[in-house]
Amino acid sequence: MHINIFSSESALAEAAAERIIAQVRENAEAVIGLATGASPVAVYHAWGKGAATLGLDQSRVRGFALDEYLGLDPEDSRSYHAVIRRDAVAGAGLNAELVLIPQGSGDPEAPAAYERAIREAGGVDVQVLGIGRNGHLGFNEPGSPAQSRTRVVQLAASTMADNARYFDRAEDVPTAAITQGLGTIFEARELIVIAVGEAKADAVAAAIEGETTEDLPASLLQSHPNVHWFIDQAAAAKLSESVALVAAV
C-alpha cells in the first residue's frame, strides 16, 4: 500500500487527480471507477481542471459508479445518478453517455447486467474510493464477504445516520442499495482511496494498521497489490507515528 498524507485538501486532490490523468493520457478509453460522497469531489474537480489544462480529449473515457440507493428515481437530486452526474461527470469533464451507474429500481437482472458491463469494458483501470465511518467501501457494510459481487444490500444504521443529512425527513433515508461487491471492486487494477476529516480517523487507522477482516471492509484493501491512499491530516490522526512519518507528503 502506498500511503500519502497531505496538509491541504487541494494538494491531496491534485495528487490523486494526477494518477487518474496519467491513466487517461496512456489510454483515451481508460475505465475509471467513480465513487460518490463528499471526499472525492475535490479530486474530480482537480482532474477536470488538469485535463483541460493539458487539452486532454476525455470524450472516450468510460466510467462505472460504485453504487445507488434502491428506490430513488435517477432524476431525484439525492440519487447517486444525480450525484455522479453533478460531481464526477461535470466535475471531471466526462462524457455522460459512457458513465454507467447501477440501477436502483430493484430489477433482479440489474446486478448481473452491471457485472457484465464492467467485464465487457475490460475491467476498471483505476477505481476511486471513499471510506465510510464504519469502514465500508461503496455500500459494502461490515460483514460483507471479500468475494462479494454486485448485489442489493441493506444499509447499516450508522450509514443511514450519516446519509440522513441529505434528506429532509428521517423516514425518507433509503434503507437499501445496489453496490458493486468487494470482489468486484478489488478487480480494479489500481485503487485510489480518499479519506478526509477527523470522522474517518478511526476507520483509516483500522484499515491501514489493523487486522484484515470482513468486519471492516476497508482493511481488505491491504491485500490488493496496487492501492494508493490519499489522506488529509485529520483523517490520518490515529495512524501510528511510524506510518504517519513515512507517509507525510
Bridge partners, residue 137, by sequence: 140
Task: Name beta bridge partners: 4.
Answer: 230
Min dist CB 162 to ligand GLP, Å, is 7
* Residue 62 amino acid letter: R
> Looking at the DSSP assignment, which residues form a beta bridge with residue 227?
191
- Give the residue, chosen from 12, 21, 24, 67, that forms a contact with ligand GLP under the rule CB under 6 A: 67
Site for ligand GLP in 4-33 (CB under 6 A): none
Say whether 140 is catalytic. no
- For ligand GLP, the closer of residues 139 and 186 by Cβ is 139
Question: In the sheet that 67-69 helps form, which strands lie side by side, from edge to edge?
Answer: 67-69, 176-179, 151-154
Q: What mask, x for binding ligand GLP by CB under 6 A, covers residues 153 to 182?
A: ------x-----------------------
Taking the least distance from each CB to ligand GLP, the nearer of 41 and 239 is: 41
Binding residues for ligand GLP, rule CB under 6 A, total: 13
Closest to ligand GLP by CB, 3 vs 128, is 128
Closer residue to ligand GLP in complex, CB, 95/166: 166
Name the H helices within the chain.
Answer: 9-26, 41-54, 80-83, 91-92, 110-120, 157-163, 182-185, 201-209, 241-247
As a whole number of angstroms, the distance between CA 120 and CA 42 comes to 30
Nearest to 19 by CA among 37, 33, 38: 33
**Whether 202 is catalytic:** no
Q: Is 241 helix (H, G, I), strand (E, B) or coil?
A: helix
Q: Which position among 21, 31, 42, 66 is part of the footprint of ligand GLP (CB under 6 A)?
A: 66
* 14 assigned to active site: no
Q: Is 72 in the site for ligand GLP (CB under 6 A)?
A: no
Least Å distance between CB 36 and ligand GLP?
Answer: 5
Nearer to ligand GLP, 30 or 137 (CB): 137
35 is a site residue for ligand GLP (CB under 6 A)? yes
User: 50, 191, 185, 200: which is closest to 114 by C-alpha?
Assistant: 185
Active site residue 141: yes
Neighbouring-strand partners of residue 31: 62
State the cell numbers at 107: 430489477
The residue annotated as part of the active site, out of 136, 162, 190, 232, is 136
Residues in the chain: 249
Binding residues for ligand GLP, rule: CB under 6 A, are: 35-39, 66-67, 130-132, 138-139, 159
Active site residues: 67, 134, 136, 141
